[in-house]
Structure 1
Amino acid sequence: MTTTPTIARIWRGRTRADVGDAYEVYLRAEGIPPLEKTALGVQPFREDREGESWFTTISYWPDHESMTAFTKGEPTKVHHLDRDPEFLIELPERIQIHRILLDHRRLP
């Protein structure tokens, strides 16, 4: 298995602005750690808009097989966190999978 990411798995969700901070704490505690243990890397993002907070999580994978092993099935299927229905305005229906065409990073 290569240690170079070739695939990005992208999840997006949004909350009302008044629960954005609480969801961020929840996402960091419950959603990110499993990815940190399994994926080559993970980056959570947050964008605050008027009345809403948008969250995007990108995880990086060496191949399709490793994503499938992590999700125990189809990688585009969303596996919602237990409290997502409480926080999210709507439950995302799918995950985006993108091939990484260029990986240009400045490493220390």
Structure 2
Amino acid sequence: MAMQDNAFRPAIARVWRGRVPRDRADEYEAYNFEAGIRPLIEKALGVQTFREDRAGESEFVTISYWPSIAAMAAFTGADPTDVHHLPRDAEFLIELPRSVQILSLRQSHGRTG
């Protein structure tokens, strides 16, 4: 039973970052949710999205949580460290990210939900 519980416990975080011109941030946020985040919510254990607005650009950060690298790879269909750009990312993003960050979750404290 403990092994089954581990299937629902985050062990890996996948972090994606992208920047868009500030005047297109609201439009990109809506697009990113529909095209990228919504499908991710169905597969990952959890998803968090962040946005930092600056003078000329906005940075978006998406963190998804997974029980294992294998589970993440099953979703991405390939190497989970590869970036899978959304169809309109080139239209919005200042530059297309070349990588994602994969982190091992070591400890979690407090309530973050």
Same fold at TM > 0.5: yes
SS state of the match for residue 19, structure 2? strand
Residue 107 of structure 1 and its aligned partner are, at CA, apart by 8.0
Report the counterpart of residue 45 of structure 1 in structure 2: 50
2:92 maps to what in 1? Answer: 87
Q: Deviations over 1:41-76 (max 9, x none)?
A: 000110001100000000000001000100111001
**Partner amino acid, structure 2, of 1:19:** R
Unmatched segments (≥5 aa) in structure 1: none
- The structure-2 alpha-carbon separation of the partners of 1:105 and 1:40, relative to structure 1 and needing over 3 Å to count, comes to farther
Unaligned runs of 5+ in 2: none
Please give the per-residue CA displacement for 1:24-53, whole angstroms capped at 9, x wherever unaligned. Answer: 010111110111000000001100011000
Q: What is the TM-score of this pair, normalised by structure 2?
A: 0.91
Alpha carbons of structure 1 residues 107 and 19: separation in structure 2 relative to 1, 3 Å: closer
Equivalent pairs counted in the alignment come to 108
Kindly report the root-mean-square deviation, in angstroms, between the aligned alpha carbons of the 2 structures.
1.4
Partners of 1:76 and 1:59 lie apart in 2 by: 13
Letter in 2 for 1:97: I
From 36, 41, 47, the counterpart of 2:41: 36
Residues 1:63 and 1:27: Cα distance change in structure 2 (over 3 Å)? same
